[in-house]
Structures are given as C-alpha cells and as structure tokens.
Amino acid sequence: MTNFIGGNHLKLLRNGAEYFPALEAAIQHARHEIYLETYIYQEDVIGRRIGNALKKAAHRGVKVYLLLDGFGSQDFSITFLQGFQLAGVNVMFYRQKISPWTFKKNRLRRLHRKVVVIDGKVGFVGGINIIDDNNVPEEASPRVDYAVEIRGALLAPLLDSVQKLWKHLAWLQLRKVSQQYASAKTKLDSKYKEVKAALVLRDNVLHRRDIEEAYLEAIANAKEEIIIANSYFVPGWRFRKALIDAADRGVSVKLLLQGRIEYLVMLATHAFYSTFLAHGIEIYEYRKSFMHSKVAVIDQEWATVGSSNIDPFSLLLAREANVMVRDHFFAEELRASVLQSIQDGAIEISPQAWVRGNLKHRIFSWIVYGVLRIVLGVIGRAEDWRK
C-alpha cells in the first residue's frame, strides 16, 4: 500500500518553460548542496544554462553532485565534462558501459529518474530531462512533459534516496565520498498540511514493483475516471487487465499516448489497441509534437507525476521516481492540462477505423511485441511481464 504523508506543498510544472526557470532559481539560491540526477543531459542551450548555474553554485562553495546515466547521456562530451569538473562540480555516470553487443540485463538497467534536491529545502521530481523542449525534429512543436516542485515532508525520503544512491555508486567506483549536509527541512505553514503525497521509487532490489503496484492500487479503487498520459505504453498483463476491469465496471478510461514513433518498440503499444477499444477504453494519440509525459489522474483525487513509463524497461529494469498525490486541487490542475493536450494536439482512435483500416499495421505491431517478449526472455524477465 502506498505510504502517503501530509505536510507538503506541491507545484505542478508544465514543460521546460516552467520547470527550467524554477530549477535555475532554486540552484541560484542554494547554499549548501545540490543533487541532480537525470537520464539525458544535452549540451544545448538548456544544458549550458543549467550547467552555468551549477558551476556558479560550486564556485561559491556549494557541494554539487551531478549523476548522469551512461546511456542516456552518452553524448556528454569530454570538453563539457571537464568544464564541470574544473568548476568543482562532482560528476558521476551510472553504468557507463553501453556495448550494443550484449543483452545482459545489467546493460539495460538505467538511471531513468529525474530528481533534484537542493539544501534539503526544495526538490523536483518528474519526467523532464536536461534538454531543450525545442530540441525536436523539424516541424514539431515543443516537447510535452511535466515535473513537480516539492517542499515539505516528502523532501526527507527524497534527500535520503539521492544521498544513498550517490554514496553507493561512489563506493562502487572507488571514489571519495565527502561529508553530507544536514537532513531535509520539513517545517511548513499549516495551510499545506492537508496535501498528502508519496515518493514511490523503483530499483532492482527492495522496490522492484512499487510504482506498478501503486498504479494498480489506484486503478482498482477508481470509481469514475482514469486518465493516463504516457509516452512509452507497453503494459504487462496485470496492468492491461486492471484497465479493462475498470472500464467493464463503468469507469471512464482515457489513454493519451505518443502518436509520433521515435523507436520501433513503440509499435508494440498498438498490439493492445483492439482489445482496449473493444472494452470502451478511449485512446488518443498526440501528434502535434513528442509527448514525453508520464502522468495519470484518477477520480480527480489521485495523481502521479514522474519518470516511469508503463513499459517493461521502466517497470522491470530502470531506476525510476514518481510522486503520487492525494489532493483534489493538484489532481484537477493536472487533469485540465492533459485534457487540454488532447484537445490541442491529439486525435482519437475510433474502434471502427482501427479494425477496418490497419490490418497490416496490427499484424506488424504483434510481431514487434513478440520480439520484445523474446528480448525480455533473453534477459530473464519475460515471466515477470506476463504476470
């Protein structure tokens, strides 16, 4: 059962246009320590902007810890890295070996979470990498994504998680671990005490299924509406059954999925369209740009924002971080934003059109899904995904 705690102030941040100014301002006010974890750190206008803020913080004596994924940030240049190191920023890579000639599951265990904690006073969790929203192929609008700014009680477990991961990786890489700063500050004004939230992490030891179980718990309790906006949506059998059961008992289920194909594996999503549509689940494909969202809203009371996709790589292999929220105002704000994305840039997939005009596409999607199952079998996780 998800452990919700009160005493939080949460602010929804839509896209990099809202996230990066908030992040930069928090870095500029840092006095003691900054932890930043990200899957992708791109050397573009945003990467340089946030990088300059981190370097300035290091120059004024702030301890800065920058943790990057070895695969997602493989284009992080030596020159760019040296600039951080010369400024006093501590940089470390998570699983830097990315040989394409092995299917060992360790290679696929990535640091996919996007987390920032500053002075134990403010934190950020979401799906937004350090990359410009406009860093997309031509003719596409800015990327769509979310993060949440956190102040209050949730900072204690968030700070604990980033400190423990840094220490663990530093030990594995035979690096010196410097003295850490004080614990998180959790005192807030009384008006925030009713905002209940939970930090739900996924790792490969003690929390292998926590994010999936949190979703399944919320879906099982849904009474009126489920809205999921997820960019890489290839759910396992239990997740698919939970959505179908919800729809069959009269819950309105809406899925906002990525309409632009970035990777071949995304076609596996289409293998489930016919079944979902047959049970009355509404499917919308976002075509205006690249939707990178990993959010959901249920009954306008429960919401989640985070880094976890609903696919085997996020739910079975990667380190992920999601914030689950029980608060009507936060849930309603996120719901309105997702529905606006559906209105502005998505098309609805009708059951009749999908069955009538996509036979070859549907066959190919099942082939892709079959290949994905084979890959999961090679790395020993196919049985996990079937359950």
Amino acid (one-letter) located at 320: E
Catalytic residue among 114, 121, 254, 270: 114
d(CA 89, CA 354): 52
| Helices and strands, counts by H and E, the chain | 13, 17
Identify whether 223 is a catalytic site residue: no
Catalytic residue among 69, 133, 299, 311: 299
Residue of 5, 14, 229 lying closest to 142 (CA atoms): 14
Identify whether 119 is a catalytic site residue: yes
CB 152 within 8 A of CB 21: no
Number of other residues whose CB lies within 10 A of the CB of residue 330 = 24
What's phi and psi for 261, nearest 5 deg? -85, 115
Q: How many angstroms separate the Cα of 183 from the Cα of each of 32, 155, 306, 320?
A: 11, 9, 23, 22
What's phi and psi for 200, nearest 5 deg? -115, 115
Q: How many angstroms separate the Cα of 328 from the Cα of each of 35, 194, 277, 304, 332?
A: 30, 11, 29, 12, 6
Catalytic residue among 63, 121, 294, 311: 294
d(CA 213, CA 200): 10
Identify whether 384 is a catalytic site residue: no
CB 153 within 8 A of CB 7: yes
Identify whether 299 is a catalytic site residue: yes
d(CA 28, CA 104): 41
Catalytic residue among 9, 63, 112, 121: 112
Run of H or E residues at 124: strand 122-126
Identify whether 270 is a catalytic site residue: no
- CA atoms within a 13 Å half-sphere pointing along the CA-CB vector of 345: 21
- Structure-token match 């905002």, residue found: 195
Catalytic residue among 119, 145, 210, 311: 119
Nearest-10 crossing angle of helices 78-86, 45-59 = 20
Catalytic residue among 9, 254, 270, 292: 292
What's phi and psi for 234, nearest 5 deg? -135, 75
Identify whether 245 is a catalytic site residue: no
CB 120 within 8 A of CB 185: yes
CB 228 within 8 A of CB 13: no
d(CA 153, CA 175): 31
d(CA 151, CA 187): 9
Catalytic residues, by residue number, are: 112, 114, 119, 292, 294, 299
